[in-house]
Amino acid sequence: MVSITFGTIAFLIFIGIISGIINSIIGMASLISYPALVSVGIPPVLANASNTVALICSGVSSILASLKELKGHLREVIPITALTAGGGLIGSLLLLNSSNEAFSKIVPFLIFFAACSILIPKKAKADGQKTNSKTVLFWEYLILGLVGIYVGYFGAGAGVIMIAVLSKISDSPYHVYNATRNAATLAANLIASIIFILIAHVYWSAIIPLGIGLFIGGFIGPSIVRFIPTKIMRTGVGIFAFMLSIYLFVKAFF
């Protein structure tokens, strides 16, 4: 039984604002919002499902705040969004038929390699050389589809993995491919949320205040990213991802 008091509502709104800012900048909201839902008495798997529904609010507001970045990049955004949305569908079905422990021992390594990918600079291309070979693009887009599955399943750390891949695919500055990442993550969360709402039990009494906070935070994040140089953002995200991989490794194995 979950008791939603005035204090709980205020707590969830506050957590939502912080999570929304983080989500729109780097995509790590679940590391804060998910434990918050568990702490108010929601069972883990259903807290995971409820968290995914609430994250739609951050996704919507971050997209509205990033229209400037997304304009003119639809040819890049649409296939990435479609891939992650399909992955979100698969991931949501996996969640409803398993426990959150299935990925716990894999995620630290995924995030570690994502950190390395972000921190290692792209090789300079010779004049006339194509941005990416078709083979490389195939594997990078395949990884994005797998990230979409992870977003639908749990999603903690999925943002940095997606940023790592997009940083290799895109020649745009960080704030542009981060906006693409926000759009793709929103699509995956939206598809997963539809499955959760139709099949599982989600806690609307917690989703609504958390969602309000996430919506507010989602508006703030893109404005912050817009004024920070790409190199600083990439380095900061990479270092954070490296530290996160160590934390999750210790948590999973010790």
Where along the chain do its domains lie? 6-253
Q: How far is the C-alpha of 162 from the C-alpha of 179, rounded, in Å?
A: 11
CA angle 29, 92, 86 (to 5 degrees): 95
Both tokens of 111, joined, read: 């995030």
pLDDT in tens, the chain (254 residues): 567 789 999 999 999 999 999 889 988 788 789 889 988 989 887 888 899 999 999 999 999 999 988 988 888 888 889 988 998 889 888 877 766 565 567 777 877 877 887 787 766 555 445 545 667 677 777 888 888 887 777 666 777 778 888 887 788 888 899 999 999 999 988 998 999 899 888 999 999 999 999 999 999 999 898 888 888 888 888 888 788 788 878 877 88
pTM value? 0.80
Question: For 62, phi and psi rounded to 5 degrees?
Answer: -70, -35
- Burial class of residue 28, CB neighbours in 10 A (0-12, 13-18, 19+): buried
- In the chain, DSSP finds a helix count (H) and a strand count (E) of 11, 0
